[in-house]
Amino acid sequence: MYRYEAIENLRDNLSDGQWHSTTKILRGHTRHFSSADDLMSIIEDMKSNGELIVGANNSYRMPRSVLESWRIMRGLGMKASASNMGAPRFFGDILEDDGWVLAPLRTMDVVHFHANFDDAAQARALVGLYGMTLYNFEGLVRIYALDGSFAYKKVCDAKDDGTLDVSSIRIDSQVKRRELCDLPSDFVSDMCDFYGAFAHALLRQSMSSVRKHIIERDDIQQQIYLWIIDAIQRYDAETSIPFAAYLHSAINRWVHDLSRKQFGRAVADSELQISRAQTVFQTKHNRPPTVEELAGELNEDVNKVRRKMSTVKSVSNIRDATTIIQDDYELTVVSSESSTGRIEDETNQTLLSVALTTSAIEHPNGPNVVAWCGIYSRYWGGESTSRRTTAAEREVMESMRSKLVDA
C-alpha cells in the first residue's frame, strides 16, 4: 500500500468521531507505514493542524467539522447503523462525544433504602425539592441529593416515628452522576434507540442468563433501556474510553448482578461456575457430565459440588416460578415437585434454607416466625406474589442474602 493510501485509510478510520487510543491506532495501522514512529508523526501533524482532539490515556478523535468535511470528500456515510458502524454517531444532531460536554458529571450523595411503592412516594414527598427519588421494581429506593445528610435524616426520623415502613437505610457520599435533564431530550432518545438495538450484540453471550430472570421479550428490552440510561448517568467522558466500550463492560456486569441481587453472590457465582464447567465437559465429550466428572472439572470435592448443585437447583425453582391467572384468583407454581416436600427435605441440606431460617431466628428484634412464614408462603406455599413484602420480611431476606454472600 502506498503511503498516501495508508494516510487516507487512517483518516477514514479516525473519522468515526470515536476515541482511538494510541495502542489501537498502532495495532491497526503500523503495518501500512515504515515504522510506528512514522505513523505517530502523522498523528502529531494531524494534532498540530487541528484535525484531532487529544484526550486522556493518549487517545485521539476527530472534531465534527473535520470529520464531516473528510467523509463528504471521500463519499463515506454520515450516520452509524448496523451496516455502517464505522460512521460517526449523531444523537439529536449532536456528535456523541460532543454531547457529554453539555452534561458534566455532578458530585452528589445517594441515600438507599428498601420500601414499598407507597412508602417510596411518601419519602419523595418528605424530601421534596432537596433530592430526586427513584424507585425500582425490587423495592429499592434511591434519593439523589447534593447534600444527602438532610434526606438521610428525614428518612431515618420517619422510620423511627412510624411514618415510613422502610429498612436497610444507608448513604453513599461523593458519588458522581449525570443529570439526564442536562442533556437535550433528542440526544437521550436517539441514544437509547441506537444502543437499545446495539446492546443485543453486546449481550449475545449473556442473553440466556437474562432470559432466566426476565421472561417477556418486551420486559427484556425495557431492562436494556434502563441499563443504557444508568450507563449514561454514570459514564465518565473524561476517561476518553468510548461509551460503547464502557456500556459493553457495564451491561455484562449488570447481567450477572441480576442473580446476585436476587439470590446472593454465592449462589450466583456457583451457578456460573457449574454452567461453565458443564459447557467445557460437553464440548470435550459430547455429553453432559456426571457429578463425579463435574467435580473433576471443578477440582473440588464431590460432596461440595452436590451441595452447590442442590442450592442452585432450589434457587432456580424459586426463580422460575410462574403465575397461572384464573378467573377469580392467582395460583403461584414454584415447580412440578411438591413444594412442601421439597422445602422440608432441603431445610437441612441447602445453604438457602439454612440462611433463611438462621436470619429469621437472629432478627434484631428477636426470632421472627411471622416473617419466616411470610417468606415461606410467598415462595414455597402457593401464596400470590402480588402481596407486598413487609419490612420485617425484607430485613430477613437482606440478612439471608448476606449470609449467602459470605458462604
Within 15-113, residue ranges assigned H as helices are: 22-29, 36-48, 64-74, 96-102
Q: How is residue 238 written as a grid cell?
A: 473524561
* Higher-pLDDT residue of 89, 385: 89
Burial class (CB in 10 A: 0-12, 13-18, 19+), 224: buried
Global confidence as pTM:
0.62
Residue with cell 420500601: 115
- Least reliable range by pLDDT among 99-108, 284-293, 366-375: 366-375
Is the pLDDT at 261 greater than 70? The verdict is no
Q: How far apart are CA 176 and CA 110, in angstroms?
A: 10
Radius of gyration of the chain (CA): 26
Residue 397 has pLDDT above 60, yes or no: yes
Q: Say which range, 130-144, 343-357, 386-400, has the weakest mean pLDDT.
A: 343-357
Q: What share of the chain in percent tops pLDDT 70?
A: 80
The predicted structure's pLDDT at residue 122: 84
**Which set of grid coordinates corresponds to residue 336?**
412440578
The predicted-structure confidence for 307-350, as pLDDT tens digits, reads as follows 778 766 755 554 444 333 333 333 333 333 433 334 334 433 44
Q: Decide if pLDDT at 67 tops 90.
A: yes
Q: Which amino acid is at 130?
A: Y
Over residues 160-165, the mean pLDDT reads 88
Q: Mind listing the pLDDT tens digit for each residue in 110-134?
A: 999 888 888 888 888 888 767 787 7
CB 63 within 8 A of CB 97: no
**Residue 336, SS3 per DSSP:** coil
Q: Are 96 and 192 in contact (CB under 8 A)?
A: no
DSSP-derived letter for residue 167 is: E
